[in-house]
Each structure stands twice: as C-alpha cells, then as structure tokens.
Amino acid sequence: MAGEIFSRYEIKYLIPFSTYEKLAKALQGRMVYDKYGDEEGKYNIISLYFDSPDKKIYYETRNKERFRQKLRLRIYNKATVDDNAFFEVKKKYKKRVNKRRTSINLKHAYQYINNAQRNYETLNISNPQIFNEIDSFRSYYSLQPENIVSYDRQAFVGVTDPDLRVTFDYNLRCRKDDLRIEHGPHGIHFVDPELVVLEVKVNHSVPLWLSRLLSELGCPKKSVSKFCTSVDLLEEGTGIIV
C-alpha cells in the first residue's frame, strides 16, 4: 500500500450488498481493480484506533465538529509482528480529508505504544517527520489503544483519472478484548453483514457519469464513522447499523 500523504474528499454511502454487486460490475470499463488487492482488487484491513481518556477523538467525530482527527495503526491482510504496519493520522476539515502515514515495523510499533522504546531513531520507520507528528499528536492528547476495526474491501481506481477511487467495505467487525492486530479480523459485526459502506474518493468533484450511476442505483449518502459506530456498540451496547 504505497503513498504517505493524501488530501481528498471522501463521500460515503450505505448500500445493500446486492447493490454493491451491481455497482461493482457497472464500474468495470471506466475503472480497474486496485493493484494492491488480489485479482479482483480485494483485501482485508485491520486497524487499531486510539483515543484519549476523555474520549476527545470519539466526540470530535460524533459531534461532527468542523475539524476532527484520528490516530490508527493499520495492517493489510495477514501480518506478523516482524512485518510492517502503517501509523496514520487522519484529519478532516471542512469535509476535506488529509491523511499522513509512515510505515513501521509492527514489533517496533508495539514497543512505542507501550513506551518500551524511547530511542525513536532506532525504530524502523519510513518517514521520521510524519512519525514526529504522530508522536506529538499522541503525546498531546495522551492517546492510548481503544479498539480494533476490521473489514473486507474491494477497491477500484479510475482508468483515465487515477486519483478517483471507489471502495466497498463489508463484513465490518470490531473488538476491544484483543488489541493485537496481527491476530486477524475477528470480532462482532457493527454494521449489518447485508450492508456495504461505499466510499467515493476524489480530489475535487465526483465525475458526472459516476453521479448518474449512483443515482440510478439509488445509493443514499450516509455518514458512517467506523470508529464511532464500533465504540457505540462495544461500550454503549447500542445496536448495529441496519
């Protein structure tokens, strides 16, 4: 999963699984499968999210504040503690999403999280500057591991516009009893398994042909925060999204 700096708009929709299958088929021709996935552009994502003792990160998103941010440690597909993960800071301001990340050896990431590694220069990271931003963010808010979110994804990339991405996330699960992301994608569903979170990611605006296609298939816009919804289920006992 290449790339360390992203700035774009991310428009979310919540659609039935049957609509996802129709839309994925209709995209072929104008879009291609994500090269980082399998032969159908599919892969699994497992993320460890962080929050402060007063749940500032949760409430920023839940209250839809104009500026909000998140910290997460993420792996793609299967990984061991000797493999690399991504530390990511995701910020949203006036609907535009900015994401900065650095790869880091997973074992080193755990050492850093547990404050067992103070000499950060010895950490196996790809971008020291971004890591310093992550460290400052984490220190300022006293961020600690909160929960794990995992899901399967199928991703498409525009043929003539490589900055256009369409992703379908399904089988969304969460847990907080086991905060080791290398243990795989297990947990309880926080979104109905028959529903799919669709995201359209663009630098400026959604292409007209795609807007028409989404309208024809009756895809409703729906703001779905994976982090907040998982926290609601794990801590408040609220029902899953249906």
Mention every residue, 6+ apart, whose C-beta is less than 8 A from residue 69: 57, 60, 89, 90, 91, 92, 137
- CA-CA distance, 239 to 33, in Å (whole number)? 33
Q: How many residues in the chain?
A: 242
- CA-CA distance, 9 to 215, in Å (whole number)? 19
Of the candidate ranges 59-63, 85-89, 91-95, 103-107, the one whose mean pLDDT is the lowest: 91-95
Closest alpha carbon to 83 in 99, 103, 67: 103
Mention every residue, 6+ apart, whose C-beta is less than 8 A from residue 229: 190, 191, 241
Q: Where does the pLDDT of residue 11 fall: very low under 50, low under 70, confident under 90, or very high at 90 and above?
A: very high
Q: Where are the domains of the chain?
A: 5-236
Rounded to the nearest angstrom, the gap between the alpha carbon of residue 55 and the centroid of all alpha carbons in its chain is 19
Q: Where does the pLDDT of residue 64 fall: very low under 50, low under 70, confident under 90, or very high at 90 and above?
A: confident
Q: Where does the pLDDT of residue 198 fall: very low under 50, low under 70, confident under 90, or very high at 90 and above?
A: very high
Rounded to two decimals, what is the model's pTM?
0.93
Dihedral, 109, 104, 123, 106 alpha carbons, nearest 10: 40
Which CATH code is given to the segment(s) 5-236? 3.20.100.30
- 203-237 pLDDT, tens digit each: 988 999 999 999 999 999 998 899 999 999 998 76
